[in-house]
């Protein structure tokens, strides 16, 4: 099979239906009506249109854009650099800056451009929320603005913040230091909770309809849980460099003033924050990860096989006998969305005959795994009690790509593992914005550090694993998870793990695979865990071998706001985000 040319850098940002306009020009109109354009993924701002007075379509469109940006703007660098993804051997590695680290200012600049543009949409919703009775909209917008701004800090450190989103009042905003932005965002999330709780006490507050709130369908208690969980996430991010007194004060404010009317503080069991406006198999309406790495509406691949699973992550799940493996990874040669159960594989028998390419199930090491016949097997009777697992007759069914390996014919998409049904289910699947599993691991780390006391770190750690098994669709997930976190292995079994923080971060990394790639990349930069991520094998690689710790400021910013950005000299390997040790 020939090696195809590398898609242009726009491949990382394909199917982005947004104009790259200045981040501080407020979008005066967004999705005049979701039905009229027939495409809730197309956020086309028209600065000449009249202002939207009812914020419903703007809020819906902004949430959908957040889901798209997480998947198509952020994941193309965050997932490989977190050890999750590799690049398919089907494509040439020439110019693959993600793995050779020769970043230019134009690389990944849609993170900046599209995030600021969508911040303008959330800003519009927040302003509409100043109208009496629309306070729920204000609270939601404040929460989502905090997400967008902290994502920008996590990518760039210093950013326009206090002078941003002012429209024509300030076309060239100066930069705020990342630490100051974080301090204000933590406070803003607390204010958002207060706004929502105050509005809940007033019967005239307009309920946000499910067509506008495509995350929680108008359930404001869940928005409070999300805000508190996000606030905890930012505080945990400060664990290495933040003020202990400031962290303690913020934790006290959460536990004292943050409870929703249901009495809960954080996203709990089964309470995943997921965005779904009604994704479906239709042009412009598919789940953004499916559109990016699954199939087109006509079941075409069309370059969507560019990203594959990494060998590093495959070996982690394989070596720990992790039942999640079959839901995070897809068997080579199988279509996106294929489940292991749908294949109806037989269990290996020592008396059966098998042809090359046959897949079978075999319980090896306490869990059932898939093996592939690589040499015609006639069956040897009862004398052989296990398959020949030394790669003479059988090999492991899944196959992934070592990070940065130059493209070869044995690493093309057709023979390597893509994303499994647990993380990329289909065109109608929701996008998980923040999972219950991640919430549990955030609470586990905060508890292990002595910040929270309502539960034990061990219970929260184990609940995080259980919630991950549930979200991915593992059958009998509670039982399977309990067997896993009792396996006696370091970083899986709480008792067997001497370094509790490492165990929490490693299992959080496992739970976030292809779900919240940015969180895993940030955890690695913050804690160094996982501490065995492989260096890129790209022969053109620059730097120390480990991934960059940040992005370069975008070329668009140098083009239109040079006075503010030109004072920065950025080294992608050494210019750290402020919260990094």
Q: Find, among 155, 247, 165, the residue nearest to 577 by Cα.
A: 155
Q: Quick one: pLDDT at residue 37? A: 39
Whether a cis peptide bond, with omega within 30° of 0, leads into 530 is: yes
Q: What count of other Cβ atoms lies within 10 Å of the Cβ of residue 532?
A: 9
What is the C-alpha separation between 320 and 196, in angstroms, rounded?
Answer: 43
Structure tokens at 99: 């793995």
> pLDDT, tens digit, for every residue of 53-98?
679 999 999 999 999 999 999 999 999 999 999 999 998 666 689 9
Helix (H, G, I), strand (E, B) or coil at 373: strand
Rg (C-alpha) for the chain, rounded Å, is: 24
Q: Quick one: pLDDT at residue 123? A: 97
Helix (H, G, I), strand (E, B) or coil at 484: helix
Tell me, yes or no, if the pTM score tops 0.95: no
DSSP class of residue 2 equals P
Q: Quick one: pLDDT at residue 390? A: 58
> pLDDT, tens digit, for every residue of 368-417?
889 998 888 777 665 566 776 656 778 899 999 999 998 888 899 999 99
What is the C-alpha separation between 403 and 85, in angstroms, rounded?
Answer: 8
Residues 288, 294, 300, CA angle at the centre, nearest 5°? 115
Q: Quick one: pLDDT at residue 11? A: 45
What is the C-alpha separation between 124 and 343, in angstroms, rounded?
Answer: 49
Bridge partners for 431 per DSSP: 275
Cβ(440)–Cβ(463) below 8 Å:
yes
Instruction: Collect the ranges in the chain with pLDDT lower than 50.
Output: 1-2, 8-38, 41-52
What is the C-alpha separation between 101 and 347, in angstroms, rounded?
Answer: 44
What is the C-alpha separation between 210 and 226, in angstroms, rounded?
Answer: 17
3-state helix/strand/coil string of 403-453: CCCCCCHHHCHHHCCCECCCCCCCCCCCEEEECHHHHHHHHHHHHHCCCCC
Cβ(461)–Cβ(441) below 8 Å:
yes
**Phi, psi torsion values for 476, nearest 5 degrees:** 50, 50
């Amino acid at each position: 099979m020939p090696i195809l040319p590398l898609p242009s850098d726009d491949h990382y940002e394909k199917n982005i239906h947004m104009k790259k306009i200045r981040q501080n020009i407020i979008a005066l109109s967004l999705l005049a009506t979701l039905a009229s354009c027939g495409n809730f993924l197309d956020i086309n701002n028209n600065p000449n249109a009249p202002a939207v007075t009812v914020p419903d379509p703007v809020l819906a469109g902004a949430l959908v854009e957040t889901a798209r940006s997480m998947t198509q703007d952020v994941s193309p660098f965050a997932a490989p650099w977190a050890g999750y993804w590799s690049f398919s051997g089907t494509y040439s590695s020439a110019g693959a800056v993600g793995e050779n680290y020769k970043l230019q200012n134009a690389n990944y600049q849609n993170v900046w451009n599209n995030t600021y543009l969508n911040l303008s949409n959330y800003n519009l919703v927040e302003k509409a929320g100043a109208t009496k009775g629309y306070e729920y909209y204000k609270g939601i917008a404040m929460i989502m603005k905090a997400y967008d701004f902290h994502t920008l800090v996590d990518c760039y450190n210093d950013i326009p913040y206090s002078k941003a989103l002012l429209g024509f009042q300030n076309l060239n905003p100066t930069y705020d230091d990342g630490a100051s932005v974080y301090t204000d965002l933590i406070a803003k999330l607390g204010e958002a909770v207060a706004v929502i709780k105050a509005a809940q006490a007033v019967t005239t507050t307009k309920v946000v309809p499910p067509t506008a709130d495509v995350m929680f369908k108008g359930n404001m208690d869940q928005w409070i849980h999300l805000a508190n969980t996000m606030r905890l996430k930012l505080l945990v991010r400060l664990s290495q460099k933040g003020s202990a007194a400031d962290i303690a004060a913020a934790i006290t404010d959460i536990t004292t003033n943050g409870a929703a009317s249901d009495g809960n503080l954080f996203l709990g069991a089964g309470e995943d924050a997921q965005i779904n406006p009604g994704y479906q198999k239709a042009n412009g309406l598919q789940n953004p990860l499916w559109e990016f790495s699954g199939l087109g509406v006509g079941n075409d691949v069309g370059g969507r096989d560019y990203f594959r699973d990494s060998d590093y992550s495959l070996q982690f799940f394989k070596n720990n006998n992790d039942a999640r493996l079959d839901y995070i990874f897809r068997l080579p040669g199988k279509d996106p969305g294929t489940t292991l159960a749908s294949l109806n594989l037989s269990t290996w028998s020592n008396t059966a005959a098998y042809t090359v390419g046959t897949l079978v199930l075999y319980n090896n090491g306490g869990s059932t795994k898939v093996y592939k016949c690589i040499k015609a097997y006639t069956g040897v009777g009862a004398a052989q009690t296990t398959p020949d697992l030394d790669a003479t007759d059988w090999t492991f069914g899944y196959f992934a790509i070592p990070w940065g390996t130059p493209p070869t014919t044995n690493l093309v998409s057709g023979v390597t593992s893509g994303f499994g049904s647990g993380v990329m289910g289909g065109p109608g699947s929701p996008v998980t914005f923040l999972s219950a599993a991640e919430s549990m691991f955030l609470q586990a780390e905060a508890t292990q550090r002595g910040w929270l006391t309502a539960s034990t770190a061990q219970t929260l750690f184990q609940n995080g694993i259980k919630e991950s098994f549930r979200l991915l669709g593992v059958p009998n997930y509670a039982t399977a998870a309990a067997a896993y976190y009792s396996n006696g292995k370091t970083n899986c079994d709480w008792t067997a793990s001497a370094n509790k923080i490492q165990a929490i971060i490693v299992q959080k990394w496992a739970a976030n695979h292809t779900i919240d790639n940015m969180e895993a990349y940030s955890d690695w930069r913050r804690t160094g865990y996982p501490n065995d991520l492989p260096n890129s094998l790209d022969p053109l690689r620059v730097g120390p071998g480990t991934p960059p710790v940040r992005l370069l400021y975008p070329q668009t910013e140098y083009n239109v706001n040079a006075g503010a950005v030109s004072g920065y000299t950025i080294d992608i390997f050494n210019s750290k985000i402020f919260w990094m040790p």
